[in-house]
């Protein structure tokens, strides 16, 4: 049985960790380095760091902060935000990232996935997809959810994997920050379309939401932010809960 992963997410804006609802109404959630160390110590399997305004502000991810987070943790570390070139990835890997997440830049120029995968390996490339269900159809959004496209979520995920993405990080904008559970139907559909790990994101509010993401959504990992930042759910207790329900997790 494959081990399921629990992944805290640090959304970074102006050097601070922030969290909102449906991608808006951002509130301060603490110092990124302190939170990262706490999660590493508490038993998180991986950490995701997303510089959420890098694309909008047309700049690179905050390299110094990536270096500081990498020094504070001993778990795999994925970094995203404003990545649009081979050089960007080289800088982040040198700074301590294990994987990189591409989103808007990959939609605008899909060949970027091929280029990065061929140089760094598909295990290093995470395709992050922010999507919103509108009138029954899931549509991809760019620039931190600010820009709607007519691209179908599932078609884009299939293309991304075909081009060399080694993992999918799917965030449901409808569910983000609501604490009403993950988009499990969409996750299950996605899991049947591609043969790479899928990270569920958007909607965690209670322990059962994680269980449902694994059982109903067939996700390989579940990502969450505010429930961990504000200590509403403790990672160790969450893993105990999951193990008692026959979900394989790592301690």
Supply the residues annotated as catalytic: 11, 130
The Cα 46–Cα 123 span in angstroms is: 14
Tally the C-alpha atoms within 13 A of residue 195's C-alpha that lie toward its C-beta: 1
The Cα 173–Cα 130 span in angstroms is: 6
Kindly report the backbone phi and psi dihedral angles of residue 122, in degrees, each rounded to the nearest multiple of 5, phi listed first: -65, -20
Give the Cα-Cα-Cα angle 40, 45, 51 (nearest 5 degrees): 70
Which residues pair with residue 131 across a beta bridge? 140, 172
The Cα 53–Cα 228 span in angstroms is: 22
């Amino acid at each position: 049985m494959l081990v399921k992963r629990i992944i805290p997410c640090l959304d970074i804006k102006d050097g601070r960790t922030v969290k909102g609802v449906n991608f808006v109404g951002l509130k301060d959630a603490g110092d990124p380095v302190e939170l990262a160390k706490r999660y590493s110590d508490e038993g998180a399997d991986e950490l995701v760091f997303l510089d959420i305004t890098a694309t909008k502000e047309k700049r690179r991810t905050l390299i110094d902060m990536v270096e500081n987070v990498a020094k504070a943790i001993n778990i795999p570390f994925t970094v995203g935000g404003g990545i649009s070139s081979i050089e960007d990835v080289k800088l982040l890997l040198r700074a301590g990232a294990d994987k990189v997440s591409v989103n808007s830049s990959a939609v605008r120029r899909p060949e970027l996935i091929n280029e990065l995968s061929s140089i760094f390996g598909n295990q290093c490339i995470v395709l992050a997809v922010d999507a919103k269900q509108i009138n029954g159809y899931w549509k991809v959004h760019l620039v931190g959810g600010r820009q709607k496209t007519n691209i179908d979520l599932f078609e884009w995920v299939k293309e991304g994997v075909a081009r060399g993405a080694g993992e999918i990080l799917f965030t449901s904008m409808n569910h983000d920050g609501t604490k009403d559970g993950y988009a499990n139907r969409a996750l299950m559909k996605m899991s049947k379309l591609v043969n790479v790990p899928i990270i569920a994101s958007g909607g965690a509010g209670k322990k059962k939401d994680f269980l449902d993401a694994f059982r109903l959504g067939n996700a390989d990992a579940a990502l969450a932010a505010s429930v961990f930042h504000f200590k509403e759910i403790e990672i160790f207790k969450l893993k105990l809960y999951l193990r008692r329900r026959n979900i394989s997790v790592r301690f």
